[in-house]
Amino acid sequence: MALLFASLPVVCRVFVGVWGFDGAFEISCLCLFLGTYFHILSRRSLPAVPDAATLLDRAIRVALNGQTAEAILLLSEAIRLSPRLWQAFQYRGELYLRQPEAVDAALRDFDEAIRLAPDEPHLYGLRAQAHNLRGDELSARSDYEMASRCPARDGIHPVSGC
């Protein structure tokens, strides 16, 4: 673009016979500076802004590689970015279940996941496992019963919950 505007006075001189077109040099300099700026800007690698779904996917891959602590951090970040992403609560709770000292944290995550998605029967089963680890058989039995009352997942979402 800068070369086009810079060549206009020369073209004008060749075809018209005068060095007309005042301001062509200034416009060509402006285009040259803007072109250089945008070129440099496009070549810089800007860090991508992570979204909750990307973090969820990365956390699952990291957890599969045995890096539980890093996966929990990624899931916590996903929850911070999208507090209504019940799957992040579910997966973080499942990771907490692997740590005997973090059963209470798992229960909190399963409670939140159930609050956000009450029609997901597997969440009740996971919470029942956490209750069993705490020795609360009554609550575990209640959750297992709730899971069995949830309708089969055939693509139809019940309106009233389980």
Mean pLDDT of the chain: 83
Q: Are 118 and 162 in contact (CB under 8 A)?
A: yes
**Structure pTM?**
0.66
Contact 120, 87 (CB under 8 A): no
Q: What confidence score (pLDDT) does residue 21 get?
A: 57
More confident residue, 108 or 11: 108
SS (H, E, C) 6-60: HHHHHHHHHHCCCCCCCCHHHHHHHHHHHHHHHHHHHHCCCCCCCCHHHHHHHHH
% pLDDT > 90, the chain: 57
Question: Which parts of 83-149 fold into alpha helices (H)?
Answer: 86-97, 103-116, 121-134, 137-149
Per-residue pLDDT band for 25 (boundaries 50, 70, 90) equals low
The residue-averaged pLDDT of 126-145 equals 95
pLDDT for the residue numbered 3? 62
Residue 92 pLDDT greater than 90, yes or no:
yes
Q: How confident is the model at residue 160 (pLDDT cuts 50, 70, 90)?
A: very low
Per-residue pLDDT band for 157 (boundaries 50, 70, 90) equals very low
For range 97-102, the mean pLDDT: 92
The CA distance from 140 to 157, in Å, is: 24
